Structures are given as structure tokens and as C-alpha cells.
């Protein structure tokens, strides 16, 4: 069942004429139409909170304030350090709590909207909060919405295979998402837990395929071997290299042998195969537990209805 925070009813009292309306710096651009991701968002059954709801007021706003406090202390400490200029405490606090005027706040908001979401830091968001907490919360909600779409679309799970720039490949990303899409089509996950299990299932399958390829490569192809001349030169220079490069010791650390490399690849393939099967069992058990809970809830509801009908009769 979808859990969504209910927006509290607005007070019937009319606002006082001297109360200033909340500052609106810039209008947010209209989000692009993405029906596939919208359906995924609904299927994920995520918890939606309005920025003035009770849930956000109790949890998220307090968490943001704690982060902003840490950012303020960190920046003030930096200004008082040698690299920051050895500024006195009072002046460092004044610079750390610099407030923008309306024009500067508008420019800051436009800068944040034009900055990639993964590059936005809490220091800039803290300055926006000092000008307009409502706009800062709206922007943070926009970033969370983008993160939700990143998770629902599978790109968050795919990025773990691209820790450095040269590993980023359109073909590899497309292959991972294709595998994930087939799992989604079969299981039709409901909720974030099932989406996370499908992501783990896809990652385990992807890693299993990688290590199976490595095992076949190491068993059916020849490795790169040292030439005879290089082996002789390395043996001749070994004593000199020890004196110049290594600390004193009585034995050399052995390199992995060809047989051990083959066995290692096979073991890694088996490890991820077991992870795939274990995740699949967890997904099935989660589905079964949800089904049992729904049946139990339906039975309780039926008994309650039966009791009410008997009391009326």
C-alpha cells in the first residue's frame, strides 16, 4: 500500500497584512515528459513529502540544518587556519555567514540550477538557505527527485562499473540496462526494496559473466610471458634491484601462478553465481512475505466486518 504523507490542512485564519510572502527567486523549469520514468516512480511506491509537511519538518529540515552547521564550522575553521589566512574568530564567523541580497540570491539560485546535480555542494546550498529556506528546500527536493529517477532507471546501479572515466562506455551501460530491463519485465517490482534486489541481481549477473569470460580466457588462451632475454636481465639485476628498491628481507613475495590465476577466476565466477541465486531467493522470499501479509490483513479485515455485521444483527 502506498504511504504518502498527507498535507496538513491550511488554517482558516487569514494571514496578517504585514506578513511578507516567502521569497521566490526564480521559477523552476518545467520537468521533461518521461512517461516511462513516471510509471517507475509510481511503481516504486516512494514516500512523498511536501516541504511544509510534518515529516519533513521533523526529519529533513533538522538534518539539513545540522549539515549546514557543520559546513559553517568547517569553513570558519579553514579561515582561521594557516592556509585560510589566520583570520580571527569573529571575522571568520562573519565571512562564513555571508548573506546575499536579493540579486545575489537570484544569481546563486540560477547558478545552482545550471550546475550538474552531482557537483552541488552543501556550502552553496547553505548560502541559499540563509536567503530563502523555502527555495533551498525546493532545490533539495529537486535534487532528490533526480536521484530517485537515477535509481528507478537503473543508472545508479550501472555506475558502479564505471569508477573512472576511461571505463565509461555506452555499450557496457546499454548491456547492463538491457539485462536489468528483462528482469524488471519478469518480476514487475513493487517498492524500493524489490528495485534494489533487482539491481543487485543485475550486478551479480553482470559480474558473473565477466569472471566467466576471464576464466575461459585464462584456460583456453596463452598468457603474456616474459622473453628469455628479459628474464636473464631481470635475474642478473635482481641483487642490484634489491639493494636499491627493496628493504632487507630473506625471501621474495611470490607472484600468482598461472594455475592460481585460472582457479581465482573460476572461484570469482562461482561467487557471483551464488550471489545471483541468493539474491533471487531473497526476492522471492520478499514477495512471499508480502503476499502472506496481504492475506493476513485481508483475513483480519474480513473478521472485523463479520464481527460488525453480527453486532448489528
Four-CA torsion 111, 112, 114, 116, nearest 10 degrees: 140
pLDDT at res. 99: 72
Q: How far is CA 6 from CA 2, 133, 140, 182, 189, in A?
A: 12, 21, 20, 35, 25
Q: What is the pLDDT of residues 245-277, one digit of tens each?
A: 556 666 656 677 777 888 888 888 889 889 898
Give residue-wise pLDDT tens across range 133-172: 778 888 888 888 888 889 999 999 999 899 888 888 999 9
What is the model's pLDDT at position 263? 86
Residue 241 pLDDT class (50, 70, 90 cuts): low
Mean pLDDT over 2-16 rounds to 46
pLDDT of residue 55: 45
CB 208 within 8 A of CB 269: yes
Please tell me the predicted confidence (pLDDT) of residue 157.
92
More reliable by pLDDT, 29 or 168: 168
Mean pLDDT of 7-25: 49
Does 175 score more than 90 pLDDT? yes
What is the pLDDT at residue 171? 94
- For the chain, the domains span 49-152, 157-223+257-312
What percent of the chain lies above the pLDDT cut of 90? 12
The pLDDT value given to residue 112: 86
**More confident site: 132 or 54:** 132
**Burial class of residue 285 (count of CB atoms within 10 Å of its CB; 0-12, 13-18, 19+):** exposed
- pLDDT tens for residues 274-307? 989 898 888 888 888 888 888 888 888 888 888 7
In the predicted model, what is the mean pLDDT of residues 106-133? 84
Q: What is the pLDDT of residue 240?
A: 64
Please tell me the predicted confidence (pLDDT) of residue 173: 93
Higher pLDDT, 230 or 33: 230
Mean pLDDT of 103-130: 84
Mean pLDDT taken over the chain: 77
Of 135, 142, 111, nearest to 31 by C-alpha is 142
pLDDT, position 47: 37
The more confident residue out of 104 and 176 is 176
pLDDT at 8: 42
Alpha-carbon torsion angle 288, 291, 295, 297, nearest 10: 110
Amino acid at each position: 500500500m502506498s504511504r504518502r504523507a498527507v498535507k496538513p490542512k491550511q488554517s482558516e485564519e487569514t494571514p496578517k497584512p504585514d506578513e511578507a510572502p516567502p521569497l521566490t527567486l526564480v521559477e523552476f523549469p518545467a520537468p521533461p515528459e518521461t512517461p516511462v520514468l513516471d510509471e517507475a516512480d509510481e511503481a516504486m511506491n516512494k514516500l512523498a513529502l511536501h516541504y511544509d509537511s510534518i515529516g519533513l519538518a521533523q526529519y529533513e529540515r533538522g538534518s539539513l540544518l545540522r549539515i549546514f552547521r557543520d559546513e559553517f564550522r568547517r569553513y570558519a575553521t579553514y579561515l582561521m587556519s594557516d592556509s585560510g589566512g589566520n583570520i580571527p574568530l569573529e571575522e571568520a564567523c562573519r565571512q562564513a555567514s555571508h548573506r546575499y541580497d536579493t540579486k545575489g540570491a537570484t544569481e546563486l539560485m540560477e547558478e545552482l540550477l545550471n550546475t550538474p546535480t552531482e557537483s552541488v555542494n552543501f556550502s552553496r546550498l547553505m548560502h541559499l538557505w540563509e536567503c530563502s529556506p523555502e527555495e533551498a528546500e525546493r532545490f533539495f527536493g529537486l535534487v532528490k527527485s533526480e536521484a530517485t529517477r537515477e535509481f528507478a532507471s537503473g543508472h545508479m546501479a550501472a555506475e558502479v562499473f564505471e569508477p573512472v572515466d576511461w571505463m565509461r562506455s555506452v555499450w557496457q551501460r546499454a548491456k547492463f540496462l538491457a539485462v536489468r530491463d528483462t528482469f524488471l519485465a519478469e518480476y514487475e517490482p513493487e517498492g524500493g526494496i524489490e528495485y534494489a534486489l533487482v539491481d543487485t541481481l543485475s550486478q551479480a549477473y553482470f559480474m558473473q559473466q565477466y569472471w566467466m569470460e576471464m576464466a575461459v580466457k585464462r584456460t583456453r588462451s596463452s598468457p603474456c610471458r616474459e622473453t628469455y632475454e628479459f628474464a636473464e636481465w631481470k635475474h642478473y639485476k635482481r641483487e642490484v634491484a634489491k639493494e636499491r628498491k627493496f628493504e632487507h628481507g630473506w625471501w621474495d613475495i611470490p607472484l600468482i601462478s598461472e594455475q592460481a590465476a585460472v582457479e581465482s577466476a573460476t572461484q570469482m565466477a562461482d561467487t557471483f553465481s551464488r550471489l545471483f541465486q541468493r539474491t533471487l531467493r531473497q526476492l522471492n522470499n520478499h514477495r512471499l512475505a508480502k503476499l502472506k501479509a496481504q492475506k493476513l490483513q485481508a483475513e483480519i479485515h474480513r473478521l472485523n466486518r463479520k464481527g460488525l455485521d453480527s453486532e448489528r444483527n
